[in-house]
Amino acid sequence: MQSGWHGSVIVVESTSSSTGVRGDTRLRRSTLVYFGLPDYAVYLAAVPVSLYLPYVYSRDLGLDLAGVGLILMLARISDVITDPLIGYLSDRTSTRFGKRKPWMAAGVIVMMFSAWQLFAPIGAVNNWHLLIWSMLLWLGWTMINIPYFAWGAELTDDYDERTRITGWRQAFGYLGNVSVLAIPTISGHLLGYGSTPREGLTIVGFMALVLLPVMMFVALWKVPEIVRERKQQVNVIASSIQMFRNGSFVILFIGFLMLTMGTTWSSSLFMLFAAFVVDVETSTQVLLLGFYVTQLASLPIWVWISYRIGKKETWMAGAVIYVIATPGYLLLGPGDVLLFCTVLGLYGIASGNFVAISLSMKADLIEVAGLRTGQHVAGSYMAIWSLGQKFFQAIAVGIALPVVSFFGFDPNGVNGSDELLALTLTLTIPPMLLYAGSVFVIWRFPLTPERLVRLRRAFEKRQTRRLSLTGSSAAS
């Protein structure tokens, strides 16, 4: 295996990877910190869309709740074209700065201005404002995250090091979650501005405007990109066909989408549930802050557990905690703050492993797919993954909000016991079923460390035979 530096890129002349599960080297901690920085700023710009926007745009800005849900769904579905296209193009991009970095730099510009327009609108807003800027926000998200995740998947061939990379990156993302709530709350206490959801949204918009370009610049400058010399994909359709013939990918993809839909469904209704059922509207930000701190604190523990029992088993354990915690919402009523905190604490622990472990499992699949096809596939795999994630998040928001509206719940009106019960049941039953279903799906995931080693050796032998035959043909 030979490699060389091309600017901010390391070019690796190899079509295979280490045949062991664990390599001999680990990335420096400073490299992991630099690599994780952009996720902090991206979370600042993305999390409020499901957490704050339905509440603020319906309660404070006067848009219809069901309409807000449908608009946010349409904004995510618009990526059905952009996600596969950007994934495919990033796999085929070739510059002195790498395949992934130019796309991420361009995406920053789109995302930071869109976040500002959504989170701190000037004057009256209408449905068109929400739709246009939401679509542009997710376009910027796509331009950043698909190449970003592909870049991370290509940084190492080590089975456990992949979890370490995704864990560090996700830690910065969860720190962004904490900041989304902590900084407005602190600002509200110290400066008298930031305590309400709308004021907090404005502060977060300003932070995203400033920190997205700064943190992205540091990562692009300090972390090299690994580029393996492989064939370019034939076309996006052929790539998609190959992808969905990969049974391991389909299993992981379905399990991930079920869990994604469940968590998005819950988060889209959380603010309404806290304000109208538990009657803690003024304490919502503090409660969520506790949830995100728990999520952040549990992440390194889940990473350690995955080293001991395996990625699949760790992922399933988190999903089981979701299943156990969700019925707790049915026990809550006005003033049940302690029990509410208990449910949120279990949710925080469960969600600590979800993204990091699933991305690490996906990186293993991408390595196998690249070895099998001899092509650059990371961007396309991440694009389909992102598209599915956005689509099912859109479906969750687009169904959950209209459902509670259908049963008579109105955030701007008077709600009786029947409307509040409908809100509680809508928050509880669909997510619980989705979480339970994801456990049964992921249980069938077949790619273990031992199987990964066997596949690497098999592809190495295949490549050796091909090179031998090529050399014999050239000699004759």
Tracing tokens 């969700």 back to the chain, one arrives at 326
Q: Which residues contact 320 (CB under 8 A, 6 or more apart)?
A: 439
Contact in structure between 249 and 369 (CB atoms under 8 Å): yes
Contact in structure between 56 and 151 (CB atoms under 8 Å): no
> What gap in Å lies between CA 117 and CA 136, rounded to an integer?
10
* Residue 10 domain-assigned (yes or no): no
Q: Which of 53, 456, 2, 413 is nearest to 227 (CA)?
A: 2
* Residue 473 domain-assigned (yes or no): no
Q: What confidence score (pLDDT) does residue 235 get?
A: 60
Q: Which of 197, 215, 192, 214 is nearest to 47 (CA)?
A: 197
pLDDT tens-place string over residues 237-255:
666 677 788 888 899 999 9
Alpha helices in 93-158 (DSSP H): 101-119, 127-153
Q: What confidence score (pLDDT) does residue 20 get?
A: 46
* Residue 405 domain-assigned (yes or no): yes
> What gap in Å lies between CA 373 and CA 109, rounded to an integer?
34
- Domain, as residue range, for 145: 25-463
* Residue 15 domain-assigned (yes or no): no
Q: What confidence score (pLDDT) does residue 9 get?
A: 54
CATH code for the domain of 380? 1.20.1250.20
Tracing tokens 């991370």 back to the chain, one arrives at 152
* Residue 16 domain-assigned (yes or no): no
pLDDT tens-place string over residues 353-395:
888 898 889 888 888 887 777 776 777 788 788 778 878 887 8
* Residue 34 domain-assigned (yes or no): yes
Contact in structure between 420 and 408 (CB atoms under 8 Å): no
Q: What confidence score (pLDDT) does residue 24 get?
A: 46
- The average pLDDT across 228-238 equals 58
* 6 SS3 class: strand
> What gap in Å lies between CA 196 and CA 184, rounded to an integer?
8
> What gap in Å lies between CA 432 and CA 322, rounded to an integer?
7
Distances (CA, A) of 86 to 26, 148, 376: 30, 12, 14
> What gap in Å lies between CA 192 and CA 254, rounded to an integer?
45
The tally of domains found in the chain comes to 1
Supply angle C-alpha 446, 450, 453, rounded to 5. 110
> What gap in Å lies between CA 58 and CA 56, rounded to an integer?
6
* Residue 204 domain-assigned (yes or no): yes
> What gap in Å lies between CA 164 and CA 302, rounded to an integer?
11
Q: Which residues contact 424 (CB under 8 A, 6 or more apart)?
A: 273, 277, 329, 330, 332
pLDDT tens-place string over residues 28-62:
899 999 999 999 999 888 888 877 888 889 888 88
- The torsion angle over the Cα atoms of residues 427, 430, 435 and 439, rounded to 10 degrees, is 170
pLDDT tens-place string over residues 88-106:
888 887 778 888 899 999 9
For the chain, what is the mean pLDDT? 84
* Residue 259 domain-assigned (yes or no): yes
Paired tokens of 345? 């604490």
